């Protein structure tokens, strides 16, 4: 090979490198930022239930440097909240800020990944989800519907509910019309309560006109915000139906799989931080809310042990029935129960009662 040919090949190599490098620079410079639309079950300004979802959208924008953004749409702004499951599954929208308790009618087992009656507090609940086989079961069930869910928030225990009249026995529950939701509603129905699913913003109006006699919704800080104390004064604890409540970023599975590794990691990190934020914020804001409610004449009640025992036994009956007729529920119930049994010794030894 002559010296002239060597020079020509060297020049061509340099030109190719420059062209390739220039192309890469152009690709990077002109890459379109990823934009998702996210429907929600909750208005964005509702304490924790909505604000945690809004925080998610702000956080993903920050960690991605604006290269990945999620636009938050409150209930009805994009789709009806109840349509989240089907609409995200179909890929019509990218995601939904929700809680798996809303999908009992679609897939009963999914409610176990939101809140479990007489279930554990957030730490133990998370331990089962992440280290006890829960998330593997959750992924499998959601995948059957073309969905992917990331646990993306957790909140403190809920109150048990608001009642116009004091409840002195299980018999007093029979015939009550009560706003109730999730697996706990199944238990209340078995005890003779007529349950209805009413949006949080409609609870006060429904109680004012007598459509319902009682209502559960959330924790003191959120119930105070809704103004439920204006129409009922008897506030019951503990929230046996929701000792911890998980929230999720529900995504279309194909959309999730189309993300690159960095984008998936960004969502996982943001949701993990949202989990931490929801837990500690929820614990921090209840005392002030309780003090305010007390100043407004609200009477706090603790359920007597004998009533709680009956309610818990009723829950076991409901769960056993669901496990008997639904294979996915059975798998999840067995996994959850086995984990809690195995964890009991540590709970008894390591934690103050």
189 in the same domain as 110: no
Strand-pairing partners, residue 98, are 248
Q: In what order do the strands lie in the sheet with 34-40?
A: 68-73, 34-40, 95-98, 245-252, 147-155
Tokens of 247: 């929230």
70 in the same domain as 178: no
Q: Is residue 12 part of a domain?
A: no
- Which domain covers residue 225, as residue numbers? 161-242+286-350
Q: What is the pLDDT of residues 59-70, one digit of tens each?
A: 999 999 999 999
Q: Is residue 334 part of a domain?
A: yes
Strand-pairing partners, residue 195, are 178
341 in the same domain as 208: yes
181 in the same domain as 125: no
Q: Is residue 1 part of a domain?
A: no
Q: Among 231, 255, 284, where does a domain finish?
A: 284
Q: Label residue 181 by pLDDT band (50, 70, 90).
A: confident
260 in the same domain as 204: no
Q: What's the whole-number mean pLDDT along residues 329-353?
A: 93
Q: Is residue 9 part of a domain?
A: no
Q: Among 265, 284, 303, where does a domain finish?
A: 284
Q: Is residue 6 part of a domain?
A: no
Residue whose pair of structure tokens reads 């992917």 in the numeric block = 148
Can you point out the beta strands (E) in the chain? 34-40, 68-73, 95-98, 147-155, 161-163, 177-179, 194-196, 214-215, 234-237, 245-252, 299-302
Backbone dihedral angles phi then psi of residue 166, each to the nearest 5 degrees: -65, 140
Which range is least confidently modeled, 162-166, 178-182, 280-284?
A: 178-182
pTM: 0.87
Q: Label residue 22 by pLDDT band (50, 70, 90).
A: very low
CA dist., res. 8 & res. 103, Å (int) = 67
252 in the same domain as 238: no
Looking up residue 310, the CATH number of its domain turns out to be: 3.40.190.10
184 in the same domain as 125: no
CA dist., res. 271 & res. 255, Å (int) = 17
SS3 for 24? helix
207-210 contacts, C-beta under 8 A, 24 or more apart: 207/162, 207/164, 207/231, 207/232
Could you write out the DSSP letters of every residue in 295-308? Answer: HTTPEEEEPPHHHH
Q: What is the pLDDT of residues 2-19, one digit of tens each?
A: 544 434 444 444 444 444
Number of folded domains in the chain? Answer: 2
């Amino acid at each position: 090979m002559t010296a002239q040919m060597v020079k020509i090949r060297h020049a061509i190599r340099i030109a190719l490198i420059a062209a390739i490098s220039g192309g890469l620079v152009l690709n990077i410079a002109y890459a379109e930022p990823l934009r998702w639309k996210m429907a929600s079950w909750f208005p964005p300004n509702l304490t924790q239930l909505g604000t945690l979802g809004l925080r998610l959208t702000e956080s993903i924008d920050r960690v991605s440097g604006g290269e990945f953004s999620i636009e938050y749409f409150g209930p009805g702004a994009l789709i009806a909240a109840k349509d989240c499951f089907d609409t995200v599954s179909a890929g019509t929208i990218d995601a939904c800020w929700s809680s798996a308790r809303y999908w009992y009618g679609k897939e009963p087992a999914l409610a176990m990944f939101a809140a479990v009656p007489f279930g554990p507090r957030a730490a133990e609940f998370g331990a089962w989800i992440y280290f006890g086989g829960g998330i593997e079961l959750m992924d499998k069930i959601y995948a059957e519907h073309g969905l992917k869910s990331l646990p993306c928030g957790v909140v403190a225990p809920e109150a048990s509910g608001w009642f116009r009249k004091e409840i002195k026995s299980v018999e007093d529950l029979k015939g009550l019309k009560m706003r109730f939701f999730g697996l706990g509603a199944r238990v209340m129905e078995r005890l003779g309560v007529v349950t209805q699913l009413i949006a949080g913003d409609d609870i006060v109006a429904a109680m004012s006109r007598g459509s319902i006699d009682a209502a559960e919704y959330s924790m003191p800080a959120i119930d105070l915000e809704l103004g439920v104390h204006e129409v009922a004064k008897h506030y019951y604890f503990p929230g046996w139906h929701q000792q911890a409540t998980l929230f999720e970023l529900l995504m279309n599975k194909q959309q999730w799989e189309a993300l690159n590794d960095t984008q998936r990691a960004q969502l996982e990190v943001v949701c993990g931080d949202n989990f931490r934020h929801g837990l500690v914020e929820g614990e921090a804001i209840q005392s002030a809310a309780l003090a305010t409610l007390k100043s407004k004449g609200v009477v706090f009640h603790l359920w007597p042990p004998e009533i709680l025992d009956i309610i818990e036994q009723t829950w076991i009956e409901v769960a056993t029935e669901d496990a008997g007729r639904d294979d996915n529920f059975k798998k999840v119930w067995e996994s959850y129960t086995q984990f809690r049994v195995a964890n009991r010794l540590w709970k008894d030894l390591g934690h103050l009662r």
